[in-house]
């Protein structure tokens, strides 16, 4: 090779290393979240994991490369979620800083990995730990992150595995399977080890789909449920508060006019006032009672609950009234409030009551409750169906596609049907396997109705899957500590030498 050819080869290598590789990492990062933007593109998630794993295994590990890989996720988090929660663009700044911190962390882990052959395990372990920490560690679990698996919320085959293992372990299995596939592409000689990993992961994902663990459970009854979805805009001009609420109430009743269901759920939108002193809410209470009688069966309305005498914030809640043919049979108060807005004006509910009705045992989870452990507690208290009024108005369509993941995963993990009624979309009716059996898309108005089976299905995730998550997480932490100690001792030995 001539000197000119050598120079040309080195120049091409530099272009590949410093220009093309970061772009490939950026593309793989975009692929991971594509399903949150365009649900039909969710399959790109799998390709994105394979591409990123392949680049890592080929040794293209720099801080800028890893940052390019994680940047699309944190930019989406900043713009679609945190910017709507934190004031003064603080959400964007925090998301970018957090992305930089985690990119540095992942980079250090990769370059300090003792065995090159073990690098294919780093991405699955990192994503699993990231999801686990932000959904299970009490001190930070209130922070609203995008679950890494959220683009696959409509992939029932994958979600079904969560009925046994839970979402975090399914994420670990899926990414580990894809990383093992990338390892085969990178080094065909490793096909034996990679093949074993591929087979084990594939079998663990496949088994819950082959064995319906609820098949032998007796169907107690079949009930029809309806979810109402709208987007009310106040007419122009000066409208007093009572007229505004009444007009909004009538708007939603028109949307529910042709529904014929045992249970009807309205979104988390203020449809009245519930005064515990019963002094200023007579009109609103009458509207709700009359509407319940008109609809028949059970109906769930969201109201502002308060005390007109004390007017104390301690007695002010976002509450859902469950009515049975005109009679109030339950009041559920929102337990997890949106920071900086709802938390400033309302108090948190503390109860996880389940209401026994002619259509089964009903639990209520209000919007942001679904992100926390509300469904788990309601299931443990005997709930056979969860009614979930949502309000995602004010967020963009990307957030709606992200938020649809939570009820899907909760239904699968807790083995309980969930009926989501969402202001402005997306409303869903989900069975106890996490399968979406009816859906009304973003921005659409109207109702959806479906029959669902009421069963006393055991949640294998709640029985042992959640403990498996902790065992795996602690195992990953232990391996990280041991690897760090090994590096420390090596450096200490070199220093003394």
Show the 3-state SS of 202-220. HHHHHHHHHCCCCCCCCEE
Q: Is the pLDDT of residue 6 over 70?
A: no
Which pLDDT value is given to residue 8?
56
**Token output for 102:** 């985690």
Pairwise pLDDT comparison (133 vs 85), residue with the higher score: 133
Average pLDDT of the residues of the chain: 88
Q: Is the pLDDT of residue 12 over 70?
A: no
CA distance 427 to 407: 10
Residue written as token pair 């093992």: 180
Among the residue ranges 119-123, 221-225, 404-408, the one predicted with the least confidence is 119-123
Residue written as token pair 């410093």: 18
Q: Per-residue confidence at 277, pLDDT binned at 50, 70, 90?
A: confident
CA distance 3 to 11: 12
The residue among 451, 453, 449, 450 whose CA lies nearest residue 228 is 449
Q: Is the pLDDT of residue 17 over 80?
A: no
Which pLDDT value is given to residue 220?
79
Pairwise pLDDT comparison (127 vs 237), residue with the higher score: 127
Percent of the chain with pLDDT over 70: 92
Q: Are 33 and 73 in contact (CB under 8 A)?
A: yes
Q: Are 241 and 405 in contact (CB under 8 A)?
A: no
The residue among 438, 402, 400 whose CA lies nearest residue 419 is 438
CA distance 359 to 350: 25
pLDDT digits (tens, 9 = 90+) for 460-488: 999 999 999 999 999 999 988 887 787 77
Identify any residues that bridge with 388 across adjacent strands, giving them in sequence order.
Answer: 420
**Token output for 78:** 């900043």
Q: How far is CA 295 from CA 55, 249, 283, 288, in A?
A: 58, 14, 18, 10
**Dihedral sign of CA atoms 107, 108, 111, 115 in order:** negative
Percent of the chain with pLDDT over 90: 57
Which pLDDT value is given to residue 83?
83
CB atoms within 10 A of CB 497: 5
Mean pLDDT along residues 299-317: 92
Enumerate residues 6+ apart whose C-beta is below 8 A from 324. 292, 297, 298, 357, 358
**Token output for 333:** 């108060």
The residue among 359, 275, 277, 290 whose CA lies nearest residue 327 is 290
Among the residue ranges 14-28, 127-141, 180-194, 483-497, the one predicted with the least confidence is 483-497
Q: Is the pLDDT of residue 88 over 80?
A: no
DSSP secondary structure string for all residues of 423-442: ETS-EEEE-TTS-EEEEE-T
CA distance 408 to 97: 30
Which pLDDT value is given to residue 187?
82
Mean pLDDT along residues 128-132: 93
Which pLDDT value is given to residue 214?
58
pLDDT digits (tens, 9 = 90+) for 353-411: 999 999 999 999 999 899 889 999 999 999 999 999 999 887 888 888 888 999 999 99
Q: Is the pLDDT of residue 138 over 80?
A: no
Q: Is the pLDDT of residue 116 over 80?
A: no
* pTM, full prediction: 0.90
3-state secondary structure string across 321-365: EEEECCEEEEEEECCCCCCCCHHHHCCCCCCCCCEEECCEEEEEC
Q: Are 334 and 367 in contact (CB under 8 A)?
A: yes
Q: Are 285 and 293 in contact (CB under 8 A)?
A: no
Enumerate residues 6+ apart whose C-beta is below 8 A from 481. none
Q: Is the pLDDT of residue 237 over 90?
A: no
Q: How does 357-377 read in b/e, with b if 16+ C-beta sit within 10 Å?
A: bebbbbbbbbbbbbbbbbbbb
Q: Identify the top-confidence range among 181-190, 240-249, 439-448.
A: 439-448
Which pLDDT value is given to residue 209?
86
Q: How far is CA 422 from CA 20, 22, 199, 297, 390, in A?
A: 43, 39, 40, 21, 4
Which pLDDT value is given to residue 189?
78
H-helix or E-strand spanning residue 444: none
3-state secondary structure string across 369-414: HHHCCHHHHHHHCCCCEEEEEEECCCCCHHHHHHHCHHHHHHHHHH
Which pLDDT value is given to residue 215?
52
Which pLDDT value is given to residue 191?
84
Secondary structure class of 274 (helix, strand, coil): strand
On the 0-12 / 13-18 / 19+ scale of CB atoms within 10 A, 49 is buried
Interhelix angle 466-496/122-136, nearest 10 degrees: 120
H-helix or E-strand spanning residue 467: helix 466-496
Pairwise pLDDT comparison (363 vs 219), residue with the higher score: 363
Mean pLDDT along residues 305-328: 92
pLDDT digits (tens, 9 = 90+) for 203-218: 999 988 887 665 556 7
């Amino acid at each position: 090779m001539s000197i000119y050819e050598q120079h040309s080869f080195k120049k091409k290598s530099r272009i590949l290393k410093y220009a093309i590789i970061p772009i490939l990492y950026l593309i793989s990062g975009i692929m991971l979240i594509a399903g949150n933007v365009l649900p039909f593109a969710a399959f790109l998630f799998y390709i994105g994991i394979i591409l990123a794993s392949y680049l890592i295994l080929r040794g293209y590990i720099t801080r800028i490369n890893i940052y390019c890989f994680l940047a699309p996720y944190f930019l989406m988090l900043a713009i679609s979620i945190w910017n709507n929660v934190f004031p003064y663009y603080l959400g964007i700044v925090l998301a970018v800083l957090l992305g930089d911190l985690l990119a540095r962390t992942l980079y250090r882990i990769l370059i300090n990995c003792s065995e090159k052959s073990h690098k294919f395990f780093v991405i699955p372990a990192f994503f699993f730990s990231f999801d686990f920490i932000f959904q299970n560690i009490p001190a930070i679990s209130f922070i609203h992150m995008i679950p890494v698996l959220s683009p696959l919320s409509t992939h029932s085959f994958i979600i079904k595995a969560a009925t046994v293992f839970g979402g975090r372990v399914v994420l670990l299995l899926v990414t580990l399977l894809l990383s093992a596939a990338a390892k085969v592409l990178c080094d065909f000689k490793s096909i034996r080890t990679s093949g074993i990993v591929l087979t084990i992961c594939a079998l663990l994902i496949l088994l819950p789909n082959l064995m319906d663990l609820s098949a032998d459970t007796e169907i107690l009854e079949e009930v029809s449920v309806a979810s109402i979805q709208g987007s009310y805009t106040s007419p122009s001009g000066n409208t007093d508060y009572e007229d505004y609420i009444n007009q909004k109430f009538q708007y939603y009743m028109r949307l529910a006019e042709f529904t014929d269901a045992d249970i009807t759920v309205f979104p988390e939108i203020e449809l009245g006032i519930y005064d515990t002193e019963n002094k200023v809410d007579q009109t609103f209470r009458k509207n709700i009672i009359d509407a319940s009688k008109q609809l028949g069966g059970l109906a769930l309305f969201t109201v502002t609950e308060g005390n007109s005498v004390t007017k104390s914030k301690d007695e002010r809640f976002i509450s859902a009234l469950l009515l049975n043919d005109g009679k109030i049979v339950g009041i559920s108060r929102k337990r997890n409030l949106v920071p900086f807005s709802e938390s400033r004006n309302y108090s948190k509910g503390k109860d996880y009551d389940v209401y026994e009705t002619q259509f089964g045992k009903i639990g209520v989870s209000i919007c942001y409750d679904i992100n926390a452990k509300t469904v788990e507690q309601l299931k443990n208290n005997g709930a056979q169906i969860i009614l979930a009024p949502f309000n995602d108005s004010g967020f963009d369509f990307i957030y709606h596609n992200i938020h649809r993941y939570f009820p899907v995963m909760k239904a699968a993990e807790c083995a309980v049907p969930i009926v989501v009624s969402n202001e402005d979309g997306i409303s869903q009716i989900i069975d106890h396997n996490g399968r979406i059996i009816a859906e009304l898309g973003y921005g659409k108005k109207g109702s959806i109705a479906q029959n669902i089976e009421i069963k006393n299905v055991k949640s294998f995730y709640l029985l042992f899957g959640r403990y498996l998550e902790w065992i795996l997480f602690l195992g990953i932490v232990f391996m990280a500590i041991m690897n760090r100690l090994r590096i420390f001792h090596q450096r200490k030995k070199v220093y003394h030498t």
